[in-house]
Amino acid sequence: MEMALTRIGLAGLAVMGQNLALNIAEKGFPISVYNRTTSKVDETVERAKAEGNLPVYGFHDPASFVNSIQKPRVVIMLVKAGAPVDQTIATLAAHLEQGDCIIDGGNEWYENTERREKEMEERGLLYLGMGVSGGEEGARNGPSLMPGGSFEAYKYIEDILLKVAAQVPDSGPCVTYIGTGGSGNFVKMVHNGIEYGDMQLIAEAYDVLKSVGKLTNSELHQVFSEWNKGELLSFLIEITADIFGIKDEQGDGYLVDKVLDKTGMKGTGKWTVQQAAELSVAAPTIEASLDSRFLSGLKDERVEASKIFQGDYSTGLPVDKAQLIEDVRQALYASKICSYAQGMNIIKAKSAEKGWGLNLGELARIWKGGCIIRAIFLDRIKKAYDRNSDLANLLVDPEFAQEIMDRQAAWRRVVCLAINNGVSTPGMSASLAYFDSYRRDRLPASQSSTSALILHAVPSKFGKCY
């Protein structure tokens, strides 16, 4: 007997691909799967059987895989960005027909997506670049999805995406059609840049509480757990609280104290900072988070430097723990507002440049569930853009402006305390400098501009400067 045609296909069965395929099948959509390494196909099919006899059908060759999907065929790729995407497209396109659709679910550079969309259009194929956020858990149980490109292609699979995406009770599925071209990939890229900023600010809050306040891991667990019940409620605060409670199974003490202080990156954070510079959009918090990752990578150099610059950099003054905890909470929240404001401004500037017409409030809505930066805070951002879709900057929304003003005293105390105790807070400091620059009607740029004019125009004893 011949198998009935499946609703959709998925090529690329690493962790994300496997889990997204199982999610799609679990939502009632029979799915064909393919991977160049055939053992991954068999592994995925076995998982589908073990997790409830889900309708996942495996294929070891691309022709059989493509021909098993109902027309117009839709295939999602989840492979490493760059050349592997082009190679997978070539493999699939050889068997696809006019009107079929390819969707790239990886973290791809948006211009590559726009190039591929044009190439596929010439072959009569539709193309989408779809950001997928939420990691392994999100892919399996409900990610935040950011599809951009062909609207016709989006309509092919809208019914699937609406069910597969994370579901937030008060605002619906965490998916929307982002816009034309590479907008879906661009939005996902900036989402990741914002994520960099979020993680850096949380790390700094931890460092100040640990290094200056001398909080124990047990106390830190309690503090972050309490913070996760209020305005800072988020996935990242939740998992931060959790890590402080995990003991080291291999020895004494807590796991957090044994983790190497060296952070890597996948590139999207760097792309975000590069795009901010190209668009002339200030993004100092996100940039500080990237610089901090670069510095963390210099582990051996830092160890040697610590020997050269030995000494007690603390003030030795007593610290009121309760006051410090409250001040750090307020500083973290105020800094977070600045970080998101910067990310939204990057998206806004790119949307204007490319004519994408992106809806910033809708982006905040689909980030409320499934993705890494999901947080109650995002509902506030959505409402801010609902009140004024042309908001110049999130900081000037009346509600956020008041929150910043209410927290700035605590914010300044934390940054000053950290500086005086030799504790680096680049993200919080950059956020505060961003706020202080943005709120002033006159900046020293006039002096630097005048100096530049003088240097270029006035001859010196060494001759004219150029």
Q: What is the pLDDT of residues 81-111, one digit of tens each?
A: 999 999 999 999 999 999 999 999 999 999 9
User: What is the band of 452 on the pLDDT scale with cuts at 50, 70, 90?
Assistant: low
- Report the pLDDT value the prediction gives residue 83, as an integer from 0 to 100: 93
pLDDT bucket at 3, cuts 50 / 70 / 90: low
Q: How far is CA 464 from the centre of its chain?
A: 49
Whether 328 has a binding-site annotation, put simply, is no
- CB of 166 closer than 8 Å to CB of 142: yes
295 is an annotated ligand-binding site residue: no
Distance CA 131, CA 105 (A): 6
- Share above pLDDT 70 across residues of the chain, in percent, rounded to a whole number: 94
393 a known binding residue?
Answer: no
- The pTM score is 0.91
Mean pLDDT of 122-137: 94
Q: What is the pLDDT of residues 130-151, one digit of tens each?
A: 999 998 999 999 999 999 999 9
Residue 412 annotated as binding?
Answer: no
Contacts of 289 (CB under 8 A, 6+ apart): 196, 197, 199, 200, 201, 269, 426, 427
By CB atoms closer than 10 A (0-12, 13-18, 19+), residue 441 is exposed
Question: What is the rounded CA–CA span in Å between residue 62 and residue 30?
Answer: 18
Least confident of 27-36, 135-144, 272-281, 444-453: 444-453
pLDDT for residue 455 is more than 60: no
What confidence tier does 456 reach under pLDDT thresholds 50, 70, 90? low
Residue 449 pLDDT level (bands cut at 50, 70, 90): low
370, 433, 426, 409: which is closest to 142 by C-alpha?
A: 370
Catalytic, 195? Answer yes
* pLDDT in the model for residue 317: 86
| Residue 107 annotated as part of some ligand binding site | yes
Peptide bond into 72 cis (omega under 30): yes
- Consult the annotation and say whether 37 binds a ligand: yes
Number of Cβ atoms within 10 Å of the Cβ of 284: 23
Is there a binding annotation on residue 5?
no
Stronger pLDDT, 356 or 269, i.e. the higher one: 356
**Is 79 marked within a binding site?**
yes
For residue 121, pLDDT over 90 is answered with yes
Q: Which of 108, 114, 117, 195 is catalytic?
A: 195
- Is the pLDDT assigned to residue 1 strictly greater than 50? no
The answer to the question of whether 14 is labelled as a binding residue is yes
Greater confidence (215 vs 257) lies with: 215
Q: What is the pLDDT of residue 372?
A: 87
Helices assigned H by DSSP within 123-231: 135-141, 151-164, 183-207, 217-227
| pLDDT of 176 over the 60 cut | yes
Rg (CA), the chain: 25
Mean pLDDT of the chain: 92
Is-catalytic flag, 238? no
429-442 pLDDT, tens per residue?
Answer: 999 999 999 999 99
Out of 40, 188, 350, 382, the active site residue is: 188
pLDDT band for 259, please (50, 70, 90 cuts).
Answer: confident
Residue 403: count other Cβ atoms within 10 Å of its Cβ: 18
* Residues 308-325 pLDDT 10s: 999 888 888 889 999 999
